[in-house]
Amino acid sequence: MRLPGQCLAEETKMHIAAKPAPAVANARLAVLGGCGGIGRALVAESLQRGLRVSVLDLAASLASHPPPDGVDGIAIDATDPDSLRAGFAQLQSNYGALDGFVNLCGFMIDNQPLAQTSAASWHEAIDGNLSAVFNASMLALPLLAKGDGGSLVNISSGLASHTRPGYGPYAAAKAGVISLTKTLALEHAPKVRVNAVAPAAVDTAFLRGGTGRSDEHGEPHVDIDAYTRMTPLQRMAQPDDITGPILFFLSEEARYVTGQVLWVNGGNYMP
């Protein structure tokens, strides 16, 4: 005798069992900003899982941190729409379609109050951290729509919601990335899933301005010791702490997840 709801439960189990295993081996992944600290860790982990990976980044970043063997490196400037179009044309020529795209592009400008921020600095931050994400997404989405259950992952920041003094342009741009992510998730469902990972500070060259943009070993924008003391998990995030959430959104395990933000901050911010 079936208990109430048993039929539905069994049908649900059968439906889940019929789902394919996580699409990993030979999946086509492109990483914008793949030469940065998080990008390099993500590329390495993706290769271990059998993905086919391409990296799009500044020519200087590709020269400083050449992609591993078997990974295509495509020189682009994410703030230049023509450069982005040329890079994605090469991706299309190489792959024909994409199964995953990760938008890691972005950088910080010098910390200062908004009242002291010039219009040029404001536009630089917005162009590099929001407009570039929009432009890259518009080029990636048609390729993802041709793929096998495409997934786009944007990288936002805890500052998008947990705003702090001195980070105004960057925080505004990253808040825009979250809104953009949610809109794209609605507009491109059900073919493509769009989600965002929002890390807190990660101990990479990004804290010093960004890979390919500054002295990667210079003074960070953040007091790392003070930051560590105020973090419940008592340490600064490392790149490997961020790659797991990104890979989750790319995987079949997240097949019913879209329009979401995953905050990765060691307990510093709990929305």
**Residue 216 — pLDDT band, cuts 50, 70, 90?**
low
Residue 88: band (very low, low, confident or very high) from pLDDT cuts 50, 70, 90: very high
CA dihedral over 60, 61, 67, 71, signed as positive or negative: negative
Say what the pLDDT of residue 15 is: 41
CATH number, domain containing residue 89: 3.40.50.720
CB 194 within 8 A of CB 181: yes
Q: Do the bridges between strand 193-199 and strand 72-75 make them parallel or antiparallel, or are there none, so unpaired?
A: unpaired
- Hey, which residues does 74 pair with through a beta bridge? 56
108 occurs within a structural domain: yes
pLDDT tens sequence across 19-72: 333 445 689 999 999 999 999 999 999 999 999 999 999 999 999 999 999 999
Residue type, 111: N
Interval 144-163 mean pLDDT: 93
> Residue 110 pLDDT more than 50?
yes
Domain extent at residue 59: 23-264
Residue 182: band (very low, low, confident or very high) from pLDDT cuts 50, 70, 90: very high
**Across 17-31, 173-187, 247-261, least confident range:** 17-31
The answer to whether residue 130 sits within a structural domain is: yes
Residue 22's pLDDT is what? 40
Question: How far, in Å, CA of 160 to CA of 132, rounded?
Answer: 17
**Averaged over 156-169, what is the pLDDT?**
89
The answer as to whether 270 is a domain residue is no
CA distance 75 to 242: 24
For residue 194, give Cα distances in angstroms to 52, 56, 105.
Answer: 20, 19, 16
Q: Are 10 and 177 in contact, with CB atoms under 8 Å apart? A: no
Overall average pLDDT of the 161-189 stretch = 94
Asked, for residue 223, whether it belongs to a domain, the answer is yes
Residue 39 has a pLDDT of 96
Q: What is the mean predicted confidence (pLDDT) over 240-250? A: 97
Q: Residue 166: its pLDDT value, please?
A: 83
Residues 194-213: tens digit of each pLDDT: 999 999 988 876 565 455 55
- Residue 269 domain-assigned (yes or no): no
Q: Is the per-residue pLDDT at 123 higher than 60?
A: yes
pLDDT at residue 93 tops 60: yes
Domain contains 49: yes
What is the distance between the alpha carbons of residues 171 and 166, in angstroms, rounded to a whole number? 9
Q: Strand pairing partners for 75?
A: 57
- Cα separations in angstroms, 82 against 78, 86, 88, 226, 260: 9, 6, 10, 42, 30
Supply the pLDDT for residue 52.
Answer: 97
Q: Residue range 98-105: average pLDDT?
A: 96
Confidence band of 13 (pLDDT split at 50, 70, 90): very low
Number of domains, the chain: 1
pTM of the model: 0.85
The predicted pLDDT at position 1 comes to: 37
Active-site residues: which are they?
170
pLDDT for position 9: 45
Q: Region 249-261: what's the mean pLDDT? A: 97
**What pLDDT sits at residue 20?**
35
Structure confidence at residue 214 (pLDDT): 53
Decide if 11 is inside a domain.
no
The answer to whether residue 129 is domain-embedded is: yes
